[in-house]
Amino acid sequence: MRSVLFLSFFLLFLNCEDKQTKKKGTSKTKVVQPLEEEAINDSFQEPEREFPKLNSKSAMEFFLEYDKIHKENKVRITTDFGEIDILLYNETKFHRSNFIFLTKQNYFKGTQFYRVIDNFIVQAGNSDDIKTARKRAHIGKYLLPPDTKRGFKHKRGVISMPSSEIRNPHKLASPFEFFIVCQKNGAHFLDGDYTIFGHVTRGMDVIDKIAAVKTDDGDWPDKNIFIRNVEVIE
């Protein structure tokens, strides 16, 4: 009985998610159904380590060096509703490098669109599946500082990085998650608070389909919407 309680507490602790509201951030934890496809349901295999385990002290230096070698800036997200192509901005190099790095680590595969608000945003990169928590533990625990003074605005189609759920007066970003603005006239009240690091070049119709699904009171889709794959295309 004690081991069951400990495991339950451990799972709950690992799977807390960042849920900013339309006016200010809130956090809610939700239980979702297990992933359905066998390709995603395979047990997480701890890969051989090709990079140091990151933390908030080492991450910036790591991505500074990573940026010098990995210049890719175009990715394709495959979802249950179709494909989304994204151009990542070189101006926000730490956030671009972070996204490319996580893509190459296959982090996003099997994560979900876990916060969906029609005509506002769709937010993704998290999951209540234990494999997501194991992937994060393997990569490391770190936050990224905001980079909000590049002149980018939260117009429709931009991809931006939410703040961490921890007590966070400096708006440090949660590196594993992202949101895409689908509001018709943009969500400009977010400007200056969250780091914009790219925009959708193809697939806004897919975003709109995701944004239109039915959700519960916590903005979680009634039917899980998975990211099936994210790949570097250029």
What domains sit in the chain, N to C, each tagged with a CATH number?
74-234 (2.40.100.10)
Average pLDDT over all residues of the chain: 84
- Cβ contact 196:89 at 8 Å: yes
How far is Cα 116 from Cα 125, in angstroms, rounded to an integer? 12
**The two structure tokens encoding residue 121:** 């945003």
Instruction: Look up residue 12 and give its two tokens.
Output: 């709950």
Instruction: Give me the sign of the Cα torsion angle 186, 191, 193, 197.
Output: positive
Assess contact for 54 and 140: CB atoms under 8 A.
yes
**Which of these, 178, 25, 184, 167, lies nearest to 99 by C-alpha position?**
178
Diameter of the chain by CA atoms? 55
pLDDT in tens, 89-120: 999 999 999 999 999 999 999 999 999 999 99
Q: Confidence band (pLDDT; 50, 70, 90) for 43?
A: low
- CA-to-CA distance for 1 and 15, rounded, in angstroms? 21
Residue 100 backbone dihedrals phi, psi, to 5 degrees? -65, -45
152 has a pLDDT exceeding 90? yes
- In whole angstroms, what is the distance from residue 181 CA to residue 200 CA? 10
Q: What is the mean pLDDT of residues 47-55?
A: 87
List the single range of 11-25, 87-101, 220-234 with lowest mean pLDDT: 11-25
- Cβ neighbors of 214 (< 8 A, separation 6 or more) are 221, 222, 223
pLDDT band at 163 (very low <50, low <70, confident <90, very high): confident
CA dist 201 → 55, 89, 98, 230 (Å): 32, 12, 20, 15
- Residue 35 CA to residue 32 CA, distance in Å, equals 9
| Cα–Cα dist 143/177, whole Å | 11
Q: Which residues pair with 17 in a beta bridge?
A: none
Q: Which of 1, 28, 33, 34 is nearest to 15 (CA)?
A: 28
The DSSP secondary structure of 70-93, one letter per residue, reads: ----EEEEEETTEEEEEEEPSSSH
Separation of alpha carbons 227 and 122, rounded Å: 12
pLDDT at 224: 97
Q: Strand 82-88 to strand 195-202: parallel, antiparallel, or no bridges (unpaired)?
A: antiparallel
The model's confidence at residue 170, banded by pLDDT at 50, 70 and 90, is low
Instruction: Determine the Cα–Cα distance for residues 119 and 122; give it in Å rounded to an integer.
Output: 9
